[in-house]
Amino acid sequence: MLTTLLALTACETDFDNPNAATAEQTFSTREGILAATVGMQQIYSTTGIRWIVETPAITTREGGITTTFQNMIELEDGGSDLPNFNSNVQGLWATMLRVMKTCEDIESSASLIGLEAGTESGLLAYAKLFKAMSIGSLAQNFEQVIIQTSNNNDASFIPRADGFQAAITLLNNAKSIISMNAVSDEFINEVTLGNIDVLNTINAMLARYNLFAGNYDAAITAANSVNLSSTSVFAYDSQNLNPIWSRVFQNSAPNFKPRDNFGLPNTFSFNASDGRLSFYLVPLDETNQNGLPIENLAGLFDVNTESLPLYIPDEMTLIIAEASLRKGSPDIATATTAINDVLTDTDDLFGINANVAVYSGVNTVDALLNEVYRNRRAELFLTGMSLEDSRRFDRPQPSGASMNYTEERNRNFYPYPDTERNSNPNTPADPSI
């Protein structure tokens, strides 16, 4: 399986570097393990976020391609012919496994170095958090996933539902670790730089993955435990640019642009004064090469060093709404209150404010779920969750035909990359669509 991890960077590692540190050297010193943790975070927040956001965005029509690069053409064409060698599919898979491997090395080494207790707990919790997010990102896009890497190229696959449960277990373990030893100032100063609230992020991911796993009461509990006055962001600089800015604005050569109406069909309408429209979208009145209406992008993506949130506060509110509707005894009153909190929001920490009237539709579970879906697309635009949402809300199934640009999504799951299949005999059969 490590063949998969290395394939996309082979051109950068054609020659051995005799001065490069071995893995044993990297993870056996304080300086080495801290640097590896920062590097793991950097890989996830740059390369990883690119694949996590861009790949399902094209599949679910959040974005329309504006390039002739074959990988993007293949994604927008979609259907059963999407090749295993598509570089987006390969990139998403390989980068998440690369992050997971580093997390595993941090976990196995942190307690052997003699670190300050709060630094050790911070490293362990952080490794579990990022491994959980990597597994979760795979489970959102593939039918089966790997949750433990293997140096022998024989990692086992498990169903995606079990992948979410594995992520939840990691997050609960991470939460337990820092409850016993709070993260140290050393860890904050060396790793998070105050940009990421570790406990809040763990709780936010517990809310997210418990929702995806169908653990609705647990999702509500976790969402309610997130301090919505605190934020966690990936910070960028001139050497590590906002990865979505890089794909849309860099060199004035966009690879894709956002779709009108957040890519939703016209049956999902938005009040013209809905602040999320003007936050994310700049009217363009153009179509891409396949006739899909596109806009210019704004919001969190139009400055090259703009930070990206690990979660958006209103995601938690919408999780409470959805889970309240889906649990065994639906709680319509709580769901409606949560939806209204999102619709009337005027003080979002990132400026994502609908600022419109409260919900006035039918008070049924199905109608309210449609309202949750509509608001998730507007609030969580280009955050990588659109494919998971499209399936979970039972949006129309793709036909399997390629170049059917009227479909809401053109795949259910991605095929397994040929780099994994060619090295790992345990790779499952590809999904039909």
User: Which tokens sit at 392?
Assistant: 């979970």
As a whole number of angstroms, the distance between CA 377 and CA 262 comes to: 7
Top CATH class, 1-8+26-196+416-427: mainly alpha
pLDDT tens-digit series, residues 119-164: 999 999 999 999 999 999 999 999 999 999 999 999 999 999 999 9
Q: Residue 22: its pLDDT value, please?
A: 53
Torsion region of 359: left, alpha or beta (phi above 0 gives left; psi -120 to 50 gives alpha): beta
* Residue-range domain boundaries for the chain: 1-8+26-196+416-427, 215-231+268-302+313-379
As a whole number of angstroms, the distance between CA 45 and CA 264 comes to: 27
Instruction: Say if CB 268 and CB 234 are below 8 A apart.
Output: no
Closest to 243 in 3D by CA, of 42, 38, 90, 47: 47
Q: Residues 300-321: what's their mean pLDDT?
A: 98
Within 327-423, where are the H helices? 332-343, 365-379, 386-392, 418-421
Average pLDDT, the chain: 94
Instruction: Say if CB 395 and CB 124 are below 8 A apart.
Output: no
Residue 430 has pLDDT above 90, yes or no: yes
pLDDT tens-digit series, residues 39-48: 999 999 999 9
Query: Kind of pairing, strands 281-287 and 308-309?
Result: unpaired
pLDDT tens-digit series, residues 283-298: 999 999 999 999 999 9
Q: Extract long-range pairs of 271-274: CB within 8 Å, 24+ residues apart.
A: 271/356, 271/357, 273/355, 273/356, 274/354, 274/355, 274/356, 274/378
Q: Residues 192-205: what's their mean pLDDT?
A: 98
Q: Do domains 1-8+26-196+416-427 and 215-231+268-302+313-379 have the same CATH topology?
A: yes
Q: Residues 340-369: what's their mean pLDDT?
A: 98
Instruction: Say if CB 209 and CB 388 are below 8 A apart.
Output: no
Torsion region of 311: left, alpha or beta (phi above 0 gives left; psi -120 to 50 gives alpha): beta
Task: Give 3-state DSSP helix, strand, coil % of the chain, rounded to 5.
Answer: 50, 5, 40
CATH code at 215-231+268-302+313-379: 1.25.40
As a whole number of angstroms, the distance between CA 346 and CA 242 comes to: 26
Burial state string for 107-126 with b = 16 or more CB within 10 A and e = fewer than 16: bebbeebebeebbbbbbbbb
Q: Residues 217-234: what's their mean pLDDT?
A: 98
As a whole number of angstroms, the distance between CA 390 and CA 393 comes to: 6
Closest to 300 in 3D by CA, of 374, 248, 355, 345: 248
Residue 17 has pLDDT above 50, yes or no: no
